[in-house]
Amino acid sequence: MLDKLDDNEQTESFINKNKRPQRFFERHFKHARAANAEFLKGQDDSSRSFNYTYKPARFEEWWLLESIGDFYEHKLISDVLRRLKGGKEASVYLCRGTESTDALVTAKVYRPRSLRNLKNDGIYRTGRIDLGEDGKKLFKEADVNAIIKRTAYGEELRHASWIAYEFNTLEILHAAGADVPKPYGMEKNAILMEYIGDADLAAPTLNAVTLDRDEARILFDRVICNLDLLLTSNRIHADLSAYNILYWDGDITLIDFPQVVDPEANPSAWVIFLRDVTRVCQYFCSQGVKCDARKLAADLWISHGHKVVQEVHPSHLDAEKKEDRRLWEKQKSVAK
- For binding to ligand ATP (CB under 6 A), which residues are involved? 84-85, 87-90, 92, 106, 108, 181, 193-197, 202-203, 205, 244, 246, 255-256
Task: Look at residue 193 and give the partner it binds from Mg ion, ligand ATP, none, a contact being a CB closer than 5 to 8 Å depending on partner kind.
Answer: ligand ATP
The residue (of 108 and 275) whose beta carbon lies closer to ligand ATP is: 108
Q: Which residues contact 8 (CB under 8 A, 6 or more apart)?
A: 57, 58, 59, 60
Q: Taking the mean position of all CA atoms in its chain, how far away is CA 309? A: 27
Residue 259 Cβ, how far from Mg ion at the closest point, in Å?
10
Q: Taking the mean position of all CA atoms in its chain, how far away is CA 252? A: 17
The stretch among 59-67, 186-194, 250-258, 261-269 that binds Mg ion (CB under 5 A) is 250-258
Does residue 244 touch Mg ion according to CB under 5 A? yes
| Residue least distant from ligand ATP (Cβ) | 87
Using CA atoms, how far apart are residues 70 and 76, in angstroms rounded to an integer? Answer: 9
Secondary structure of 299-315 in the HEC alphabet?
HHHHHCCCCCCCCCCHH
The stretch among 92-100, 147-155, 254-262, 268-276 that binds Mg ion (CB under 5 A) is 254-262
Distances (CA, A) of 178 to 16, 93, 229: 42, 23, 7
Over its C-alpha atoms, the chain yields an Rg (Å, rounded) of 21
The residue (of 172 and 296) whose beta carbon lies closer to ligand ATP is: 172
Helix (H, G, I), strand (E, B) or coil at 204: coil
Distances (CA, A) of 227 to 237, 254, 260: 8, 10, 12
Could you give the residue ranges of the DSSP H alpha helices within 74-117? Answer: none
Residue 332 Cβ, how far from ligand ATP at the closest point, in Å?
27
Does residue 276 touch Mg ion according to CB under 5 A? no
Cβ–Cβ < 8 Å for 318, 243:
no
Task: List 137's β-bridge partners, or say none.
Answer: 131
Question: Residue type at 207?
Answer: N
Using CA atoms, how far apart are residues 333 and 43, in angstroms rounded to an integer? Answer: 58
Residue 76 Cβ, how far from ligand ATP at the closest point, in Å?
14
Beta strand 245-248 with 251-254: parallel, antiparallel or unpaired?
A: antiparallel
The stretch among 115-123, 170-178, 238-246, 282-290 that binds Mg ion (CB under 5 A) is 238-246
Does residue 70 touch Mg ion according to CB under 5 A? no
Task: Look at residue 163 and give the partner it binds from ligand ATP, Mg ion, none, a contact being a CB closer than 5 to 8 Å depending on partner kind.
Answer: none
The residue (of 14 and 248) whose beta carbon lies closer to Mg ion is: 248
The residue (of 111 and 146) whose beta carbon lies closer to ligand ATP is: 111
Residue 328 Cβ, how far from ligand ATP at the closest point, in Å?
21
The residue (of 65 and 242) whose beta carbon lies closer to Mg ion is: 242
The residue (of 9 and 143) whose beta carbon lies closer to ligand ATP is: 9
The residue (of 7 and 256) whose beta carbon lies closer to Mg ion is: 256
Contacts with Mg ion, residue ranges (CB under 5 A): 244, 256
